[in-house]
Amino acid sequence: MRIKICGITQIQQGQEIAALGATTLGFICVKRSPRYVTPEQIKIIIQNLPAEIEKIGIFADHQPPEIASVVATANLTGVQLHGAESPDFCAQLRQIISSKIELIKAFRIKTAESLNDTEAYINYVDTLLLDAYHPQMLGGTGKTIDWQDLQQFNPTLPWMLAGGLTPDNVSDALSRLQPDGIDLSSGVERSPGDKDMFKVAQLFEQLRLKINDYSHSN
């Protein structure tokens, strides 16, 4: 399973989280976010990470040339769009970034009907990410989605579950749903951008237990 820890701001924490088992690290490129890091800071953190770790930049309503510039400067392997970007926008962005750069579209799920919004993006992005709705915040809210609403969600693209996941509830979430990956930020933090390494270790221990339970039951 893909395990993405988002809101990385420190070199050492990035290294430790990768060593614990994260497959993907996320970097916030939205200046108004308390977890914001500059392209130059991202580049330095990435230089200290294993090559196999996926490095995703999170953007919200940026223009395609700006996104492409950050991707090139920071050496990102993927882009996550967390704003009101349209399918046409995704198509435009794809034209100016390498086809090797993963394109993730995030959706803030307010009700079960919100899932219908994902259908228009199927041919324009590589991965879907479902996050909790908050009227002011784009992500890192600590709020969970109503998992009941997601039980029939079975898109043709890989999808990731975000929104209020913590070491305490991740096992429950994965008992109810079968995402291709999970995405955590505030659920493993001391404060915005400062990860709690004890909580991160707890997360991976819970995931190991979950995988062992699954293996023994099959």
**Residues classed as catalytic:** 6, 131
Measuring CA to CA, how many Å separate 7 from each of 24, 102, 153?
11, 18, 26
The CA distance from 105 to 129, in Å, is 6
If residue 28 lies in a helix (H) or strand (E), which one and from where to where?
strand 24-28
**Residue 117 to residue 144: CA distance in whole angstroms:** 19
Q: What is the bridge-based pairing of β-strands 78-81 and 54-59?
A: parallel
C-alpha pair distances (Å), 170 with each of 104, 136, 167, 195, 202: 21, 25, 6, 17, 11
3-state SS track over 47-104 = HCCCCCCEEEEEECCCCHHHHHHHHHHHCCCEEEECCCCCHHHHHHHHHHCCCCCEEE
What three-state secondary structure class fits 33? coil
